[in-house]
Amino acid sequence: MLNATTASLPLAHEVLAAVLQVRQESLQVLLWERGMEPHAHRWSLPGGRLRADEDVESSIRRQLAEKVDVRQVSHVEQLAVFSAPDRVPGPRVIATAFLCLVPSHMDPELPDDTAWHPVESLPHTAFDHGAIVLRARNRLRAKLSYTNIGFALAPPAFTISALRELYSAALGYRVSATNLQRVLARRGLLAPTGETSRPGRAGGRPAAQFRFADTSMAVTDPFAVLRPPGERR
Amino acid sequence: MLNATTASLPLAHEVLAAVLQVRQESLQVLLWERGMEPHAHRWSLPGGRLRADEDVESSIRRQLAEKVDVRQVSHVEQLAVFSAPDRVPGPRVIATAFLCLVPSHMDPELPDDTAWHPVESLPHTAFDHGAIVLRARNRLRAKLSYTNIGFALAPPAFTISALRELYSAALGYRVSATNLQRVLARRGLLAPTGETSRPGRAGGRPAAQFRFADTSMAVTDPFAVLRPPGERR
DNA sequence: TCAAAAGTGTTTATACTACACCCATGA
DNA sequence: TCATGGGTGTAGTATAAACACTTTTGA
């Protein structure tokens, strides 16, 4: 089946996280500035080598803890493997990349070398990390439409217009608050908290607060078509 | 950032393929029976070690060639990384799993140790390969609904009722030919070939033949809701 | 009483399903 | 001419967008 002399070379495995959060009305990613070669002064994704006793998801959760409080990470999912033989200089390293989300009300303390950057205007990135960030953004955008993943971007309670801001920032285009409300309500994702939030100085009707009915990811539109007989959304 | 003495251990990386095809009205997967320990006589996925000069996708395509003619594989996509430390006995091996599809009109010659098995009644599988197969089936089912991935299961030309059989087998429930036709036609995926196929001995109107307009995967229902303004399906 | 922001009602368009009905063939 | 399988017409329902209108507040 395989020729051990040519086929099997030991190599290293790393895990990388594209940690996304909506900050200042734009979708941003957590990057740290490399101090040393290779690619010194370029910005790279948090992560590092996989240890012998952990799977990739445990590993990325452990390594993220060096940058942000793990309790502030609301969602973690595998994104893809990046495996081009020359993706990093020197000995070969395969990377498993993750998409991680932080809700908008969190503002984790960051190490000095670490900062948030808008996904739409990334700084000079190291290795293939820029491509990984864009892939993560695309995955998030797709899932906002057919899952309840918005819960991972939002605070525990929020107004519809605040939620609209989050969706608009993540999707990159204006979303209507009216229709967002109706889509999420029809799918049973929104539950009213009963609270309202005070209007700003300019006045206006107080906004009702909502929360997401579930706080783990679920597919809410599983069959765009070709639904099994008898199943209703 | 990382402590080289504890964090970085060399390890092996393998690629595995869940090759799916609709055969005899059921979704089947290509497995080979292990001759040697560990897990002798259990059935496992084709694949093997990643070589130094190839990325994971090149590797799975190369290794599949030992089982089936590569030209018969109509679609290849990354599925997920399987990385539990004890997923295989002995030295640690991380696996990148792929979903691969073979169109229903192909019947590749197989090595003696290799055979097709219905996904719904898998034999005793080796390691975590059973879970990988189920994950591949779920991915295929989801994508049948919002992409044109059906092209990878179907022959170059087909009747709607033949296509209905393929979708029904892959999805695991009966699909209506009428509505399948209209959904795919509305999305512009079907093109008539002009040919018709002869009715069987029992008679019946000759069926028009169609082909898929595209033969590479594209998302056809990108935003179930929350579509950008102005974009129509 | 006016401006601002939130929320609701209503119209229109489209997507999808279900099912009745018509069509073209073999026996 | 009948059984069989293929294909179309059409109505009913669900989904969603657009936009006008009402509600509730601060100044």
Using pLDDT thresholds of 50, 70 and 90, give the confidence band for residue B218: confident
pLDDT band at B58 (very low <50, low <70, confident <90, very high): very high
* pLDDT of res. A224: 58
Q: Where are the beta strands (DSSP E) in chain A?
A: 12-23, 26-33, 43-44, 47-49, 75-82, 93-101, 114-118, 158-159, 190-197, 207-212
Residues A18 and A50 in one domain: yes
Split at pLDDT 50, 70, 90, the class of B222 is low
- CB-closest option in A12, A84, A92 to B8: A12
Separation in Å, CA B97 to CA A102, B47, B128, B197: 28, 9, 11, 38
Answer whether residue B230 is part of any domain: no
Q: What is the pLDDT of residue A74?
A: 96
- The pLDDT value given to residue B151: 97
Q: Is B221 on the interface with A (CB under 8 A)?
A: yes
102-141 in chain B: CB under 8 A from chain A: none
Predicted TM-score (pTM) of the model is: 0.92
CB contact under 8 A, A92 and B146: no
Partners of A52 on chain B (C-beta within 8 Å) are: 9, 11, 85, 92
Structural domain of B97: 12-144
Pick from B181, B28, B8: nearest CA to B119: B28
Is the CB of residue B215 less than 8 Å from the CB of residue B157? no
Q: Do A225 and B221 lie within an 8 Å CB cutoff?
A: yes
| Statement: the CB of A199 is under 7 Å from strand D | yes
Number of domains into which chain A is organized: 2
Is the pLDDT at B101 greater than 60? The verdict is yes
Within a domain: A130: yes
Instruction: Give A230 CA → C13 C1' in Å.
Output: 25
* Contact flag, residue B4 CB and nucleic strand D, below 7 A: no
The beta-carbon neighbor of B80 closest among A54, A78, A144 is A78
| Domain finish residue from B92, B111, B144 | B144
Most confident of B69-73, B94-98, B145-149, B220-224: B94-98
- Could you tell me the CATH number of the domain that includes residue B154? 1.10.10.10
Residues with pLDDT less than 50, chain A: 1-8, 232-233
Query: A114: which chain B residues are within 8 Å (Cβ-Cβ)?
Result: none
pLDDT in tens, A116-168: 999 999 999 999 999 999 999 999 999 998 899 999 999 999 999 999 999 99
Q: What is the pLDDT of residue B70?
A: 82
The reported pLDDT for the residue numbered B205 is 92
Q: Is A143 helix (H, G, I), strand (E, B) or coil?
A: helix
Decide if A177 is inside a domain: yes
Distance CA B44, CA B131 (A): 11
